[in-house]
A and B are shown apart, each in its own frame.
Chain A
């Protein structure tokens, strides 16, 4: 039966051409150099101790500590500047501006660390090795005492309002703290971005760099040796430079009071408006175009039989209609899956070099993520093709079937990626089969990094396989209805 259905598919020249066209479209749109930038070969993000790409840029005032020790300081004031345009600076802290105490494995970008900090709007936090963040502290603001103790591999932190009553913030064991570490004060402030309300669409975003200034008093270090050194930690924390009319990053000391101004971030790197570059998902942009063709093929695969009356012959030859539907689903699903996996593999291999040649930074992805993108694209196309087949079997008319399926798959995706406001886009990408596009997400969202986590920036509202499951439910329901109706209904 499967062979019969496969023969029907492969002997219709238009269908085979359509399948090939889907493959060509996905790959073609994937390798078209859409995004550009000003990154050359030197433009590389440092890697953190756990292998993530990270931003590591801050103003760091430090001494060398050998063995165990403690640093205590009182942050008396914490202020910031947001750069909103030439000559226009907002005096405001961005939510994830950070100032506090840190112990690091040296000053190289991407070093292992643990830190306790005051943030712009998220209270006192303890963070270590870039990706770990805990809100162990109060939601208080300056003035505030902070303390950080290193004992062997373990770092403990505490906060206080008066310097005598201490409350533990957290405890951590960073990946690599050698005998001799750098301990001290730091200030940093990430890029900011926000949706513009005066205009409309995906590009309606404004943003820029920001700086933060913290004043540290009563700085005491137990166990440290050597002189204080101030350093602008180097890794690229943000693409934009600080405008001339803003406070310059730097550190000053006067009567034991340290004023530290920094810009950047010590955090995992994200792609999107607040980060650098793009993700490999960009190279799978053409999926929706291939999807249109495969939905057409899936619908036609059954409606053409109704139109020509061939369905009568098919059901006469194999009276078990559920099985006939199963065979059709298997054939069209397999065709779509093969196209999806081949196209995604080629696009993922050939696309990023093209983007890099244009100066766009492409975030690194693990082999596992790449495999998920390939398998996910295959399942996305296969699911939508089978959905079209099922709807085609239900309504028997190609125009109705295609309109219905395209308006719940491709249309929501295109609208969400282009014109819908982000609230509506998130909703649409949760309930329609277009939710399955989430399986193509390669960017990672971090709760402790401010960014516009929206679909056009590559962040879908559902986790990858949950999105695919939404499509799965649609396919299952449609296929179930199709089988029931096929069994009950007269042949045509």
Chain B
């Protein structure tokens, strides 16, 4: 595992897109959050914590695309053949990538979420409640979205389809779930949709009315990420590269 990790770390560290992607996750998260918090004057009729973390909805796209390209890009350039020759234990390669992607997105996500909270604090003052769960949960959310992207890239062996699929899951499904009229179906859809369920972790008000509770909601997203990674690992193991 250690050599694989070192190998992947060197690739990640030296690829020119990485610092930009890490920066972009944080900037997107802070930027949209600040815009959202700045457009509201309190006393507010809204969940201020969730509001101050709005930028996660943009940061997740960057995190997902970054994670997809970490593996999908290798398929694009043919690098994957070299990687798998150097480290023939394919599951180990995927695990090493997952670990590094988690680390990178975790760091930039934490910076973004912290920045968003500070921006929210500046805009809303004491109206923004202090809670650890929404903040830590949002960082985990970004990490899990990235892992979902990595798994999708392993399944599709490329960037394009993986990006389309993950962004579809993150952005189209929530819209479908808002337009469904039947309340039971709506609730079920929001319980299983990775974005809707995962973002429940940001809620601080009116928890009883949520379709799914904060931590179980994040758990749903974790299941999605795990399923994608396991399927990806199995396919990577069995399939020709």
Contacts and interface: CB of A to CB of B under 8 A. Distances in A.
B235 interface: no
A289 B43 contact: no
B44 A199 contact: yes
Nearest to B57: A419
Interface string A7-18: 000000010001
Nearest to A414: B171
Contacts of B118: none
Interface string A389-429: 00000000111101100110011001100011100100000
Given A34-B181, A424-B35, A198 B45 contact: yes
A233 to B, nearest CB: 34
B46 A296 contact: no
Given A199-B45, A200-B54, 20 more contacts: A29-B176, A197-B40, A197-B41, A292-B168, A293-B164, A296-B163, A296-B164, A300-B160, A307-B77, A307-B78, A398-B159, A399-B68, A399-B73, A399-B76, A402-B164, A410-B167, A411-B58, A414-B171, A415-B58, A419-B32
Contacts, number: 109
A14 to B, nearest CB: 7
A292 B164 contact: yes
A421 B57 CA distance: 15
A200 B36 contact: yes
A333 interface: no
A299 B160 contact: yes
13 contacts: A29-B175, A198-B40, A198-B42, A199-B40, A200-B40, A292-B172, A296-B163, A300-B160, A303-B160, A307-B75, A307-B77, A399-B160, A406-B163
Contacts of B176: 29, 32
B35 A399 contact: no
Chain B interface size range: 35 or more
A295 to B, nearest CB: 8
Nearest to B168: A292
A406 B61 CA distance: 10
B49 to A, nearest CB: 12
Choose among A197, A201, A403 the residue with the greatest number of B CB atoms under 10 Å from its CB: A403
Interface in B41-69: 41-46, 51, 54, 57-58, 61, 65, 68-69
Interface secondary structure of B, over-half rule: helix
Contact of B161 (A36, A296, A307): A296
Contacts of B219: none
A268 B148 CA distance: 50
Contacts of A304: 160
B14 interface: no
B99 interface: no
Given A199-B46, A415-B58, A398 B172 contact: no
A143 to B, nearest CB: 38
A289 B168 contact: yes
A420 to B, nearest CB: 7
Interface in A262-284: none
Contacts of B180: 32, 34
B72 interface: yes
A419 B36 contact: yes
A393 to B, nearest CB: 14
A285 B171 CA distance: 13
B45 A307 contact: no
Interface string A120-149: 000000000000000000000000000000
